[in-house]
Amino acid sequence: MDSCGSPTRVRARHNGDGRGRACAWERLALVLGTLAVTALTGCISIRYGTPPHLDHLASLRPGVSTSTDVLLALGEPRGRGVARFSSKYAPRDIWFYEYAKATSTVFIGSDIGLTILLVFVEADRYEGYLWFSSIGSVTRTSASFWTPSAARSGEQP
Amino acid sequence: MSRGAAHCRSDTKPWTAALVLLAWVLCASCNVHVRVGQRPNPDVLETSLRIGESTHDDVRAALGNPDGTGREMLPIGDKPREVWSYYYEEGDLHDDRRIFLFVFFDQDRYDGYMWFSSLPQ
């Protein structure tokens, strides 16, 4: 049988035969197809949302900045919420920013990271924030919680 | 077309077809839909429950059993409190959204909450 890998075929390829060239292309297509299937089964990369602009938080002033200022600094939130920490506090709005990134590779393993930023707004005034992340330059999970009282005492995030 | 090249194509055709079929099946099954937990309804936090009055049982009746329990002592508080947490997530490979809901207890009384969600309303 005259197959692609037969000595006859190899000799034809070395002789500059057109049959050899056609066969080589089909071999290449087969290899690329195999690689494509391997890639499909071996690697998945997913991203949800956009990374929050954590560096823009410093431009916001608790009790002074408005909802519009928050929108300009951080963009549209991916979700909303409400917090009523106790009977002493009125309900306040939460602007919810999130970004998730997941990469799964058969030979290397899985890497999943999440950044969550909550911005507290009461009566159209920015009050503070809470964020935590396991993505990017953050090599371990870190958290930051900043309240108006901390701002008044001069504590920086 | 030469006879040799025709032979070569007929040899690789079944494998190429198999690869294309496999890739198609894998792509078709790629869009996995994920759901985690039961979606809590945050409306009950202000409608069915009363801060300082409702009990653990009332919260359980309104929201179901919590996914987790814990304690908190935030800078705005004056004493540690018990926390019940609820979490729900749904999505696929194109988008994924979630809700976090926390309920605070002072002894056996419902004392506050915090929830945030990226789920469509």
What confidence score (pLDDT) does residue B51 get? Answer: 96
What gap in Å lies between CA A6 and CA A23, rounded to an integer?
11
Those residues whose C-beta lies under 8 Å from the C-beta of residue A32, and which sit 6 or more positions away, are: none
With a cut of 80, say whether residue A74 has pLDDT above it: yes
What's the one-letter identity of residue A131?
A: W
What gap in Å lies between CA A61 and CA B59, rounded to an integer?
36
* Residues of chain B numbered 16-35 and touching chain A (CB < 8 Å): 16, 19-20, 22-23, 26-27, 30
What's the one-letter identity of residue A6?
A: S
Q: Find, in chain A, the residue whose alpha carbon is nearest to that of B116.
A: A81
Chain A neighbors of B118, CB-CB under 8 A: 49, 78-79, 96, 98
What gap in Å lies between CA A121 and CA A38, rounded to an integer?
48
Closest to A99 (Cα-Cα) out of B29, B118, B103: B118
Distance spanning both ends of chain B, measured CA to CA: 62
Note whether A106 and A99 are within 8 A (CB): no
By DSSP bridging, strand B81-91 and strand A43-49 are unpaired
Burial B94-117 (b: 16+ CB within 10 A, else e): eebbbbbbbbbbbeebbbbbbbbb
ipTM: 0.77
What gap in Å lies between CA B11 and CA A151, rounded to an integer?
74
Query: Could you say which residues of chain B have pLDDT below 70?
Result: 1-13, 23-30
The confidence band for A81, taking pLDDT boundaries of 50, 70 and 90, is: very high
CA distances in angstroms from A121 to A56, A74, A91, A131, listed in the order given: 16, 13, 10, 15
Q: Which region holds residue A75: left if phi is over 0, alpha if psi is between -120 and 50, else beta?
A: left
Segment A23-72, tens digit of pLDDT: 677 777 777 776 666 655 567 788 999 999 999 999 999 999 999 999 99
Note whether A99 and A51 are within 8 A (CB): yes
Instruction: Look at A96 and B118 and tell me if their CB atoms are within 8 Å.
Output: yes
Instruction: Look at A98 and B98 and tell me if their CB atoms are within 8 Å.
Output: yes
Closest to B104 (Cα-Cα) out of A89, A80, A126, A129: A89
Instruction: Look at B23 and A34 and tell me if their CB atoms are within 8 Å.
Output: no
Closest to B113 (Cα-Cα) out of B87, B89, B85, B88: B85
What gap in Å lies between CA B25 and CA B30, rounded to an integer?
9
Segment B16-46, tens digit of pLDDT: 777 777 766 666 656 788 899 999 999 999 9
| SS3 category, A75 | coil
Chain B neighbors of A41, CB-CB under 8 A: 26
The per-residue pLDDT of chain B, averaged, comes to 87
- CATH domain B34-117 topology: Beta-lactamase Inhibitory Protein; Chain:B, domain 1 (3.30.1450)
With a cut of 80, say whether residue A76 has pLDDT above it: yes
